[in-house]
Structure 1
Amino acid sequence: MHSDLDADEAWERLRASRSNPPARANTGSRRKTYAAALEQAQQLFHAAAVVGPATSPVLAFYGLSQAGRAITAAAWSLKGEDWNLDTHGIKTTGFHLPFPDIEIRTDPPGTHGSFVKVSEALDSPVWEKDPLRLEDVWDLLPTNLHYPLTTRDRLTPLYTDEGSIDAGDHSLLSAFVCNIPDRVVKAGTREALADFLTAYPVVAQHESYSTVGPALPNYVRYDHGGGQLSMNWLMPDGVGTGFDGMATMAERQAHLRAMTRRYAGGRYFLPVLGSMKRELHPLMAWWAVLYALSMLSRYQPAVWGTLINVDSNQFAVPIERLLERAINHLPVLIADTITEVTT
């Protein structure tokens, strides 16, 4: 549902922005930080691309961390010295546990750690009391859809496409929700779908969906398992400037964008984990995963060496694939995020 992106083009966009930095990064120390942090980020990502998985997570994480400094320097929402970052703002524990069960926590809201302040700029939640398991955050990345860490039931991003929006003369937003898990599609009941969607509150607010037979969900099944479903949502009050007061395509597209997060040129409904009030921004999901991998690589090198051994470890190939995608996807996500916080 997504494609590899042009990292070189993204770095060109970012380099071009440095001569005339956006938003609050256009003067003073914020401008200097914006330019220097992006230069460091690019060099760290380029270095990560030419080494193996033994050390690439350290380089990729610090590349993302430096890009975070550019993001906060530019962000309109961060005033005064709120943009200035000091610590990581995130920590990992439980390295003695199985790889999927490594625990990730963040510093409290309002602190100046990098993860916390970048999350604030992106309206993305932090958590401090109840840890998230690495597997749960791993599954938030669209690139990991086909790379599960265990056989547990997963909560993964649900892809949607603006091209699937129904342009009919009605007052609803109608679009396909894709990548519904096989367990839900096989169950085939309204109850199974409703139970699954409790983790996706935005999707759960649907007005109706395509049905078959005795009002059962009319899934389009995939050959490899799982499927998609055409779903309908009410448009916001006061929207409807088209013919006979119906919603226009532009209004429907805007509503779908408001309900989803952008990633790799597509739009995704993301689950809300645990006690969080909304979903993690994709950049922050990447941040949490790379931080955990970098800490393993730096402080548990023997354990990390075992995990990336393709001859003996089931996690080695998924880890390799994740690190390859980090090099391709993150520059584009960073560039898009800077646009997001400055418009």
Structure 2
Amino acid sequence: MTAAHTAGQFTFDKHGLKIVDMKCGIPDIAVRPAGVGASQAVSDATESEPTADTVSLGAVWSSLPELAGLPLHGTKYTPAAEFMASNYPSVKDTEDWQTATTATEFLQATVWVNEDMPSLPDRRAWARDFLTRYPVLEGGDLWGDEDDVFVEIRPGRFSAELCWPAPKDGMRSSEIAAHFDTSAPVYRFNEHRHLRPAFEPGRTPPTPLMPWWLLLYSFSMLARYQPPQVDRGPRHRQVPRRSRLGILPGRRP
């Protein structure tokens, strides 16, 4: 794929990455760029934001939509969240809006979160915290009352309806889609969007291919140089695969 999208002859002679310390817990293992190699070539060919500094595997793992339901044990990073925006602007009573606004129309979206649904008294506080976890959601609020916009799908997973003042009235569906393309890009399926946290402060998340590349490179290095990290548990006792990776019990990759 990279060769097909690279002008001229495609070649590289090193990974372009380096693991800083292999002996800490898997979520805290850090990987950083090292010169120019395969990682940089793939990043350029796919027009993805390149990794510029040291990042932890916990942050990389959490940024991938496919792994949102499989958190690493002990990770503290914000995970990707499913996001579906309405194709049309909505009208909302602004009396209870948290900040002053002159908007007459709003953009509405639903997010799906892999957490226990907060109790009714805690939902407003949860929403404020959730919006701060994803800076691209700044200025948002709940769409309606706390008892109406939260829906429990199953234990450990729920949805919430959010909204934002529309940048202008009368936005078309194509303009709304373009508005959310940066904050919640489409991933794999039409209109199937995800909020993807950046794992480097102040930078746009790379395309999902690059986090996968970082993870596969890191696990291949661990398997080669620190096999106890991925093959054996305490006292060299063989343990199930999900425990080797630190995936929370009850979850399966």
TM-score in terms of structure 2 length: 0.73
Tell me what 2:95 maps to: none
Where structure 2 has 5 or more consecutive residues not aligned to the other structure, the ranges are 92-103
**1:160-208 residue CA offsets vs partner (Å, 9 max, x unmatched):** 135x44465774321112216437x3473544433333331112243x3
**Which deviates further from its counterpart, 294-303 or 216-225?**
216-225
CA-based RMSD of the aligned residues comes to: 3.6
Closer, same or farther: CA 199–84 of 1 in aligned 2, 3 Å: farther
Tell me what 2:82 maps to: 159
Find the aligned partners of 1:309 and 1:93 in 2 and give their Cα distance: 26
Tell me what 1:199 maps to: 133
Tell me what 1:146 maps to: 69
Tell me what 2:23 maps to: 96
Find the aligned partners of 1:152 and 1:317 in 2 and give their Cα distance: 9
Aligned 8 A contact 2:63 2:198 in 1:
no
Tell me what 1:223 maps to: 154
Count residues with an aligned counterpart: 232
Is 1:314–2:247 an aligned residue pair?
A: no
TM-score in terms of structure 1 length: 0.56
Is 1:105–2:21 an aligned residue pair?
A: no
More helix by share: 1
Q: Indicate which of 167, 174, 191 corresponds to 1:250.
A: 174
Aligned 8 A contact 1:261 1:282 in 2:
no
Closer, same or farther: CA 191–68 of 1 in aligned 2, 3 Å: farther
Within-5 A mapping of 1:64-143: 67-71=1-5, 73=6, 85-107=12-34, 112-120=36-44, 121-128=46-53, 131-143=54-66
Alpha-carbon shift at residue 286 of structure 1 (Å): 0.8
Tell me what 1:33 maps to: none
Tell me what 2:195 maps to: 269
Tell me what 2:145 maps to: 212
Tell me what 1:298 maps to: 224
**1:131-185 residue CA offsets vs partner (Å, 9 max, x unmatched):** 32212211222222222221444411111135x44465774321112216437x3
Q: Indicate which of 284, 287, 290 corresponds to 2:210.
A: 284
Find the aligned partners of 1:269 and 1:156 in 2 and give their Cα distance: 8
Aligned 8 A contact 2:68 2:81 in 1:
no
Find the aligned partners of 2:157 and 2:77 in 1 and give their Cα distance: 12
Aligned 8 A contact 1:176 1:231 in 2:
yes
Closer, same or farther: CA 268–313 of 1 in aligned 2, 3 Å: closer
**1:8-35 residue CA offsets vs partner (Å, 9 max, x unmatched):** xxxxxxxxxxxxxxxxxxxxxxxxxxxx
Alpha-carbon shift at residue 311 of structure 1 (Å): 4.1
**1:287-330 residue CA offsets vs partner (Å, 9 max, x unmatched):** 111111111122334543226954487135959965xxxxxxxx
**1:21-65 residue CA offsets vs partner (Å, 9 max, x unmatched):** xxxxxxxxxxxxxxxxxxxxxxxxxxxxxxxxxxxxxxxxxxxxx
Letter in 1 for 2:21: G
Where structure 1 has 5 or more consecutive residues not aligned to the other structure, the ranges are 1-66, 75-79, 238-244, 323-343
Tell me what 1:259 maps to: 183
Q: Percent identity?
A: 26
Alpha-carbon shift at residue 89 of structure 1 (Å): 1.9
Q: Could you say what secondary structure the match of 1:277 adopts?
A: coil
Closer, same or farther: CA 258–145 of 1 in aligned 2, 3 Å: closer
Runs of 4+ in 1 over 6 A off after TM superposition: none
